[in-house]
Amino acid sequence: MPGSRTGRPPVQRTVRRPVGASRPRRDNPVRRLHARVQKAWDRPLTAYYLIFGGSLLITVLGLVMVYSASQITALQMSLPGSFFFRKQFLAATIGAVLLLVASRMPVKLHRALAYPILAGAVFMMALVQVPGIGMSVNGNQNWISLGGSFQIQPSEFGKLALVLWGADLLARKQDKKLLSQWKHMLVPLVPVAFMLLGLIMLGGDMGTAIILTAILFGLLWLAGAPTRLFVGVLSIAATLGVILIKTSPNRMARLQCIGATDPGPGDSCWQAVHGIYALASGGIFGSGLGASVEKWGQLPEAHTDFIFAVTGEELGLAGTLSVLALFAALGYAGIRVAGRTEDPFVRYAAGGVTTWITAQAVINIGAVLGLLPIAGVPLPLFSYGGSALLPTMFAIGLLIAFARDEPAARAALAMRPRRFGRKRGAGGSAFARASRRWKTMRRRASAARPSGER
């Protein structure tokens, strides 16, 4: 054989690996999955999809649970079983329109609406205290009757007003480099916030006042307030809270029901205990949609403040964890939008909306779990109540608009082809498009002729 003098085939020698040389790493599926997830999180449209998809899923699941949890209550009131669902569906439809409008509005228009929304919210919150106009629901004078079965709670719009107005105020002061002075950071933000809190507390709604206080602290934290300012404002708010709790037997009773496992004397902890019963009887996958036992007159406010307990009973631990995961994704996306923008108004507004929704979800779910006192606040986008749903969906539209306005997200949306209709950027009137097509046809016809032909 060629290459061998003896005619024998050449011996294949194994190449020895040098001592200490590392072997090539095998492809780890866990590491590969982690890399894919990390790459997906870093995409420019991740926040946009999380906000839009998460809020949509929460709202749709909330409609399903409102229909399931409110049927018995409606029948007990001699109303059709779908009465509360139809009202919530109408509010969700109007809220969807508000969400789409807010998501398409430019940032300048959002800033221009800050003062009108604040003035309107203050005016309506003052009307609540006028006899004959305001009405009391569950002991709280915070409602205005619109005729028939329709009511509105102006304090819910006060949250949106504080977010927009506070973000615009802090952004203008940051542009003038005034936030380094403590008086410009506190005035007039804190006095206006305390005015809204006073109007709310005149009606006795301490739950909404807590959410408004959380929004105020969120705005101050985003503005870079020093620790001493936080301590000062927190001390004032805590002192007022203690006074309001001590002077109200109802609030003291709610505070004593934290962690209760027995209704207690006079059934003072009836709602808190039966919320725990509903969660405990759900198990891993629940008793089935519509099969709740506690909603048959045992659990008060089953379709409003304690709808999370009915969700745990019917959908089990899997359903409640899914709701928590959706709120966590929504909160993460809001923080990402606030952290990646260079516009101070967008940062303050996105942070304020995220604080609002996250704090309200934590307070509601904490009360259902028996970890916090029952504050009487609904679960955002999930519980029954059009007054809470409309401003919340407008706020979600704000987050969507801010997520779309990021430079990387704008470029990604511009490069994405449209599935229906004409392509992006093909603007102009019908006459202009027809003229462009005619010029293109003339160029093609001229190129097809022989060089000597005219």
- In tens, the pLDDT along 67-111 reads 999 999 999 999 999 999 999 999 999 999 999 999 999 999 999
Pair of tokens at residue 165: 């107005």
Owner of token pair 């205990």: 273
Structure confidence at residue 205 (pLDDT):
87
pLDDT at 447 over 50: no
How confident is residue 12, by pLDDT bands cut at 50, 70 and 90?
Answer: low
Residue type, 195: M
Structure confidence at residue 436 (pLDDT):
52
Structure confidence at residue 297 (pLDDT):
85
pLDDT at 188 over 60: yes
- In angstroms, the CA 62 to CA 388 distance is 13
Closest CA to 389 of 376, 397, 380: 380
Instruction: Taking the CA atoms of 125, 129, 130 and 134 in sequence, report the sign of the dihedral they define.
Output: positive
How confident is residue 24, by pLDDT bands cut at 50, 70 and 90?
Answer: low
Closest CA to 154 of 165, 143, 146: 143
Secondary structure (3-state) at 241? helix
Contact 290, 69 (CB under 8 A): no
pLDDT at 434 over 50: no
Residue type, 252: M
Tens digit of pLDDT for each residue in 142-157?
A: 889 887 778 899 999 9
Question: Which class for 277: exposed (0-12), middle (13-18), buried (19 or more C-beta within 10 A)?
Answer: middle
- In angstroms, the CA 406 to CA 283 distance is 43
pTM: 0.84
DSSP 289-343: TT--STTTTTSTTTTTTTHHHHHHHHHHHHHHHHHHHHHHHHHHHHHHHHHH---
Owner of token pair 């006074």: 243
How confident is residue 317, by pLDDT bands cut at 50, 70 and 90?
Answer: very high
Enter the DSSP assignment of 354: H
The neighbouring-strand residues paired with 137 are 140
